[in-house]
Structure 1
């Protein structure tokens, strides 16, 4: 189960870093929650502002069946989307690992592997959700909190419990059918395969059609030439 073992820290640099350093001390499915993080991080080492009021936590997995970190990203992104539906928040997954609402970032997910001699011994999945925290003025045009969507403060423990329960059910149901978890993940993705998309490529902006979406790359057809997009920052809104 996820969350049978929970540790709450008032302040930590990053719950992911804490669990990566201390994974031997925790059981499979352990959860570490931070009231605030001083060095929260996102994909490619980018910083994630994590003040009090948000839901900042990491989950430890010590899987007997090896699954790639991407599978955990998909499982938690689906769980978050479907839990948010219960509180009437219609969010979507923005490739590759963010949850958005109405064009603004609501949540990020960061899976990281701990390896010994190139053998993965643990997977740490970090989740950061803007819940009751205020969004700084300088990023209000690109980020949003749940409290600003539903017009009231939410119970963070409710979200934590519901997301973890749903993620566990998905993991149990799909760990031997990873192609089906990918299909479900693609259902909530924006944009989708076949959609038009503007991208930055070699210093210019082009419009093309998404041919295929994988965990690491968006393949876009630009006038008969296929270009691989590897960063969300290459996508032009």
Structure 2
């Protein structure tokens, strides 16, 4: 099924995800909330996400037959393909970030209500200025290309790719997992994953069918369902 987008534009909101969750049950699938600015944008684990004017801050209401944590990959793939449309090579940093040349350019956050709805938040640095204290770890499309981009064109491309990947995900989720493997920077890289029970270091060898990360510690292979991944310095494609 192809999703029809219905876009709600806001000048400012605390969080597009929070706004979308508040209207999700009575709104049709494909409702998109886009704000020029977020005053309380958030990432995983409630972390703050700087959201000044010039970036793409949006949340999409989806109503799949069942909730699935692998949906986060749909948003990440849409961002990577959008970047490619503008000549930028992006990589998925499992599970929900997109990096370019070792710096974060986008993040995806999925939240929802079991069997009711999923809200997919996407934050993509487009024309926004990256604060000086973050320029070692974050970048934007404008910084990479050296020019401002047409904001609506970026938005439309993200939604077009999102609709395509969402449709593919509904038909066969494993095809999406395979696409993530092709676009991730983790496979065969030395990584450390920090999670609530401690940390695991080793070589990332695979992303499994359920979306988990498989790490070879040198002694055992460990399946990681969640956590913060750091990658040893090296080439990013």
Q: TM-score under structure 1 normalisation?
A: 0.87
Instruction: Report what 1:18 is aligned to.
Output: 19
Following the alignment from structure 2 to structure 1, what is the Cα–Cα distance between the partners of residues 94 and 178? Answer: 14
Following the alignment from structure 2 to structure 1, what is the Cα–Cα distance between the partners of residues 186 and 206? Answer: 11
Residues 1:203 and 1:27: Cα distance change in structure 2 (over 3 Å): closer
> What's the secondary structure of 2:24's corresponding residue?
helix
- Which of 162, 167, 190 is the matching residue for 1:197? 190
Following the alignment from structure 2 to structure 1, what is the Cα–Cα distance between the partners of residues 119 and 157? Answer: 19
Residues 1:196 and 1:204: Cα distance change in structure 2 (over 3 Å): same
Aligned pair count reads: 228
- Which of 211, 215, 227 is the matching residue for 1:231? 227
Instruction: Report what 1:86 is aligned to.
Output: 85
For the aligned residue pairs, the C-alpha RMSD in angstroms reads 2.3
Q: Which runs of 5+ in 2 are unaligned?
A: none
Residues 1:56 and 1:145: Cα distance change in structure 2 (over 3 Å): same
Give 1:3 shift: 5.7
Q: Does 1:128 align with 2:104?
A: no
Q: Does 1:151 align with 2:178?
A: no
**Where do residues 3-82 of structure 1 align in structure 2 (5 Å cutoff)?**
4-63=5-64, 65-71=65-71, 73-82=72-81
Give 1:122 shift: 0.6
Instruction: Say whether the 8 Å CA contact 1:2–1:59 is kept in structure 2.
Output: no
Instruction: Report what 2:171 is aligned to.
Output: 176
Following the alignment from structure 2 to structure 1, what is the Cα–Cα distance between the partners of residues 95 and 199? Answer: 22
Give 1:212 shift: 3.1
Q: Which runs of 5+ in 1 are unaligned?
A: none
